Chains A and B, each alone.
Chain A
Amino acid sequence: MTDPLITISEAVQNGDQEQVIKTVGVALKAGVPASALLEKALVPGIRALGEKFKNEEVFLPEVLIAIRAMNRGVEELKPHFTAEDAKKQYKEGTVVIGTVEGDLHDIGKNLVGMMLRANGFNVVDVGVDVSADSFISAAKENGADVVAMSGLLTTTITYMPTVIEGLKKAGLRDRVKIMVGGAPVTRQYADEIGVEGFAEDCASAVDEARRLMKL
């Protein structure tokens, strides 16, 4: 008999939500703990998919359907989670994510948010056209570990230093890591504005957030 953990992981990678739901159901009935299905099947599945994306073996449609399949699996598991399991679901840390003031682009930000959430981060999406004050409030209220800022325009990413300055003034800069991304944003720009994190795309954003959590 095929190992259900492998079947689920592969189904996530294939974006096969029906297979994920079916196999999760069978595994739960067979007594496999929900936490094991999350940690040993769904999460490894989405991580493997992230690696494939970085290696250009898969592209955005495959990422989207994989995340959807994983989310369907998590929904199936939720009623079976213990309080401890529920905590573990987002054990990687809390990320406040938004597109900076003056910018209404949301596709890149949404993809990064989805990938982070699927990879065990508690993601607080504060939307688009987000002021420094809103980033700061959300970071405070949610005990953010990371603030992630997105911008698609050369003229809006210049707002990122304003948010950084605001976090400093609010006394949060020492305990919050910052990562930035978006079409005109480069590692060099991240260095220039004094932030620790930069990601080219939604898969590397997960690696970068994990790296920042260890700093």
Chain B
Amino acid sequence: MTITFRERYLGVCHFERPGDLLLSGPNLIWVEALREWVKQGAPEEIMNFFFCQQYFQFDPLPRWLVEIRSGLEWWRGKVYDLGHGIRAGDWGTAPAYPGFVPKILEEDERTVVMIDGGGRKVKSFKQSEKMPMFLEYPVKDRASWKEYKKRLDPATPGRYPDDWDAYVRQINEQAKELPISLQVGGFFGYLREWMGLEPLLYMFYDDPALVEEMMDGMLYLEMEVVKRVVKDIKIDQATYWEDMCYKSGPMISPAMFRKFMMPRYKKLNDLLNSHGVDIIWVDSDGNLEQLIPLWLEVGVNYVWPLEVAAGNDAVALRKKYGKDLIMGGAIDKRVLARGKEAIREEVMSKVPFLVESGGYIPSVDHWVPPDVSFENYCFYVNTLREIAGLEKLSF
């Protein structure tokens, strides 16, 4: 009998399938890189996410319930055509719903200043997906938080698919093949998206009660979402998005993390655990070393993308945390730009060990940047396939 991807994924995450290399990433590639690859000989259809996944014969992703507005909507958010070749998504600050309607405030040849879907005033490069410069945020104080909070109502029409019963049937059918993953927000990253980093960091001292109130707003929304979803759908994995570290460590102290964030993680993760959700992932850039033990303490047990440039060492983490910690990513994106020998060394120095130890899904340690050539990326994919015992692909 053929094993399903769902069984493989859960088996790997539960350390029951040592040696099974999943090519499910997530394998994320910047549009600028894909444009360059087309110039270098890749098929034009590679610009399409689903074609790209098939082209490289990646394993599926878990079925992320992105239709439920409880986290980032990077795949399925509404996209507004603002004219002049400028497109803006309403993603970015979900689960605030409804999003703001993007509008252009000013533009020049290279850049555009606009209100984005998150209600933020941003300056972006045209024709680029690079992170914009944030000029103004919607939450500035208690009064603006009170207004913004209305967008975190779990009962807002549109937060769930209109035909819930049909959606449940569809997901439960897909669940035969795919693990099901629900976004459950986060307690730092989203607050930063609403307020901006510096104002939020000041707020921890100037008005800690407001910070707690905002975190509670997120907690209430996500608890209600989880309660509703688990009634009808078996969730396998929950995902937080935090992006709360930089190359030297966390943006707030472990003590502050413990005081403000851990009780809320605990409450939500206890609920998830009580419904059998035991794979709880966090997406955070930067050096995670100081936060990993704290996340583990409250049930967050899967970290991604383990940026190498920030000093994360996945092999050392495996030796330190054993089977308590599931890991993803950890392959240095910078190395993919260097050449085949360097790529092989990077992959071979960690992937075989990590895959054999279980609880690891390889991927580049964030989105693949445009200085990585098509040829190098193909070589990287084939190197992973070689470890997986799969035939090399011809590109």
Contacts and interface: CB of A to CB of B under 8 A. Distances in A.
Interface residues of A, number: 30
A153 interface: yes
A110 B123 CA distance: 17
B247 A15 contact: no
Interface stretch (B7-15, B126-134, B146-154): B126-134
B248 interface: yes
A108 B369 contact: no
Nearest to A127: B133
B310 A183 contact: yes
Contacts of A31: none
A16 B131 CA distance: 34
Interface stretch (A40-48, A86-94, A98-106, A171-179): A98-106
Interface in B362-385: 369-371
A64 B132 CA distance: 23
B334 A58 contact: no
Contacts of B252: 59-61
B251 A60 contact: yes
- Most central of A104, A110, A186 by chain B CB within 10 Å: A104
A84 B333 CA distance: 51
B334 A184 contact: yes
A65 B132 CA distance: 26
Nearest to A200: B248
A105 B248 CA distance: 17
Given A59-B256, A154-B337, A183-B246, A104 B369 contact: no
A158 B204 CA distance: 36
Contact of A15 (B205, B285, B337): B205
Nearest to A63: B201
Nearest to A184: B309
A128 interface: yes
B250 interface: yes
A58 B253 contact: yes
Nearest to A54: B248
A154 B369 contact: yes
Nearest to B202: A64
A65 B247 contact: no
A105 B131 contact: yes
Nearest to B196: A107
Given A15-B205, A61-B201, A104 B130 contact: yes
Nearest to B250: A59
Contacts of B371: 154-155, 158
Nearest to B204: A61
Contacts of B370: 155
Contact of A200 (B125, B131, B247): B247
A64 B201 contact: yes
A208 to B, nearest CB: 14
A132 to B, nearest CB: 16
Contacts of A153: 130, 369
A102 B198 CA distance: 23
Contacts of B133: 104-106, 128-129
Contacts of A196: none
Given A61-B256, A65-B205, A184-B334, A103 B130 contact: yes
Interface string A149-192: 00011110010000000000000000000000001101000000
Contacts of A85: none
A201 interface: yes
Contacts of A64: 198, 201-202
A184 B367 CA distance: 13
Contact of A107 (B124, B198, B307): B198
B249 interface: yes
Given A61-B205, A155-B370, A158-B371, A104 B333 contact: no
B197 interface: yes
A158 B370 CA distance: 12
Nearest to B110: A129
A127 to B, nearest CB: 9
B246 A108 contact: yes
A60 B133 CA distance: 20
A154 B131 CA distance: 13
A56 interface: yes
A112 to B, nearest CB: 12
B248 A201 contact: yes
A103 B125 CA distance: 9
Nearest to B123: A104
Contact of A56 (B246, B247, B249, B285): B249
Contacts of B249: 56, 59
Contact of B131 (A65, A104, A158): A104
A183 B309 contact: yes
13 contacts: A56-B249, A59-B256, A60-B251, A64-B202, A65-B202, A102-B125, A106-B133, A107-B198, A128-B133, A129-B111, A155-B32, A184-B334, A201-B247
Interface of A: 15, 56, 58-62, 64-65, 68, 102-108, 110, 128-129, 152-155, 158, 183-184, 186, 200-201
By Cβ-Cβ distance, the 9 closest A-B pairs, closest first, are: A104-B133, A61-B201, A59-B253, A201-B248, A154-B369, A61-B204, A60-B251, A155-B371, A155-B369
Given A64-B201, A154-B371, A183-B309, 8 more contacts: A60-B201, A61-B253, A102-B130, A104-B124, A106-B133, A108-B246, A128-B133, A184-B309
